[in-house]
């Protein structure tokens, strides 16, 4: 069982996704406010962070938080697998994906688009948390 921090401002989506992850045996904490996310992580280091990009106060807040995690003085946050789960490509046709990850701007481990196939999500989580080769 992994401790997963799910950061998304859409309460219904977050609750439904958390239910799927909990049914798969994970402990899930939902953080609806991206401004509290770093504080939440520092209180209990997650095994995986699943995060949206767009938040009401900043449409690129998820990117900003990812960079803060990777460039933070807290070494424990630097190595947490980070799954970006977002509909950003629907709103802004940027064509972003996992292949765009880099060490300075898009500091994520993997990327999925909303709406997400739940089997794909669970396989990604297994791969990122347990280094399972299902994906």
Q: What is the pLDDT of residues 33-46, one digit of tens each?
A: 999 999 999 899 99
- Per-residue pLDDT, averaged over 91-114, amounts to 65
Model confidence at 67: pLDDT above 60: yes
Cα 105 to the center of its chain, rounded Å: 15
Cα 11 to the center of its chain, rounded Å: 15
| Domains of the chain: residue spans and CATH | 3-130 (3.40.50.2300)
Can you give the three-state secondary structure of 1-22, one letter per residue? CCEEEEECCCHHHHHHHHHHHH
């Amino acid at each position: 069982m992994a401790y997963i921090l799910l950061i998304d401002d859409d309460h219904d989506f977050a609750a439904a996704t958390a239910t799927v992850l909990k049914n798969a045996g994970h402990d899930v904490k939902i953080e609806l406010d991206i401004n509290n996310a770093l504080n939440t992580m520092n209180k209990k280091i997650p095994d995986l962070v699943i995060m949206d990009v767009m938040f009401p106060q900043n449409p690129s807040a998820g990117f900003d938080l990812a960079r803060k995690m990777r460039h933070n003085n807290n070494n424990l946050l630097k190595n947490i697998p980070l799954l970006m789960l977002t509909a950003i490509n629907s709103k802004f046709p940027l064509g972003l994906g996992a292949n765009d990850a880099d060490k300075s701007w898009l500091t994520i481990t993997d990327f999925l688009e909303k709406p997400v196939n739940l089997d794909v999500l669970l396989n990604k989580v297994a791969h990122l948390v347990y280094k399972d080769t299902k994906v």
